[in-house]
Amino acid sequence: MPVHIGYAAMLERFPPAEAVTLAALAESHGFTGVMASDHFQPWLPAQGQSSFVWSVLAALGERTTGDLGPGVTTPTFRWHPAMVAQASATLGALYPGRHWLGIGSGEALNEHVVGHYWPEAPERINRMFEAVDVIKKLFAGSLAGRDVRHSGQYFKLESTRLWTMPKVAPQIFVAASGPVTARRAGRNVDGLITTGAPTDRLAALLTRFAEGAREGGRDPSKMPKVLQLHLSWAATDEEAMRNALVEWPNGGMRFARSDIRSPFEFEQLARTVRAEDFEGQMVVSADPDVHRADIQRHLDLGFDRVYLHNVGRNQAEFLEVFGREVLPALRA
């Protein structure tokens, strides 16, 4: 089977028109598909952007031909799940067979802006899975031509349906970084999303996801396992490390970030990140073969879709080099 290596469009770092242009350029170099980040604020003030993901995804659909989806959106605080379902169904209708819906439990950086109480992780995860139930009800009911309702612990939905739907509902992928959430995802949704991490941790996530899938009566080998992989490539190792430290110190932060509310707080924390903090967290190298080996390691682990984010501003050079030297050498 062909290897599925997509482009991660980081909307907290690039203006929307530039992000769309870069995604189209990525496709011209052999990348397949786009994962677009959903942020209300950037991680750091210097990153400087945070455009509306659904508008950008629609533009991406016009400029590219591969799959596309948010990596990931949160249907629990800024959004009611009914609105996420409507946005996703519309995108699916615009680009049949191309759109998938990536869902996460959220971060205070983006979700606290509406002024709601910010709960602990277990409640955020429970909210997410109830939101998934609402979205699945709307997708299924709307395809069947009937209204649905919902009254749960966190959400209510009056009797209604989505009046614009694709012929097939978008697949739903849930983001997980822990084994319990991964197992629930296997039972409840179509696929798993996670980010780069040590091999043992990723292997445990995939195992729990597969267990959940089998508990739900499904074949985990046929369910997408999606990875967003951050990396730093540049013409020299020194430049690659400078890009990591300046543009994406997030990759060297070895602590939970879900409760941090402000880009300016992240800016203060970023000053503590050192070159050695990226070891085992994110590959920083000028050698395309080093990056190829790391991507192949994740494919061998069981991921079947990988979306790459190079942390430098040297996006065009990265896309050209990886399209020529890295992607052709990868094997599923």
Mean pLDDT, residues 142-163 taken together? 98
pLDDT > 90? residue 262: yes
Give the 3-state DSSP-derived string for 137-204, with helices as H, strands as E and coil as C.
HHHHHHHCCCCEEEECCCCEEEEECCCCCCCCCCEEEEECCCHHHHHHHHHHCCEEEEECCCHHHHHH
Cα separation, 20 vs 9, in Å, equals: 8
The two beta strands, 34-36 and 283-284, are unpaired
In percent, how much of the chain has pLDDT > 70?
100
Phi, psi of 306 (to 5 degrees): -130, 125
pLDDT > 70? residue 257: yes
How is residue 86 written in tokens?
């409507």
pLDDT > 80? residue 1: no
How is residue 39 written in tokens?
């942020």
| pLDDT on residue 74 | 98
Beta strands in the chain (DSSP E): 5-9, 34-36, 68-70, 100-103, 148-151, 156-160, 171-175, 191-195, 225-232, 283-284, 305-310
| pLDDT on residue 254 | 85
Q: What mean pLDDT, rounded, does the chain reach?
A: 97
The structure's pTM equals 0.97
In percent, how much of the chain has pLDDT > 90?
97
Catalytic residues: 39, 107
Nearest to 205 by CA among 189, 184, 188: 184
pLDDT > 80? residue 2: no
The number of residues in the chain equals 332
Give 287-324 pLDDT, tens digit per residue: 999 999 999 999 999 999 999 999 999 999 999 999 99
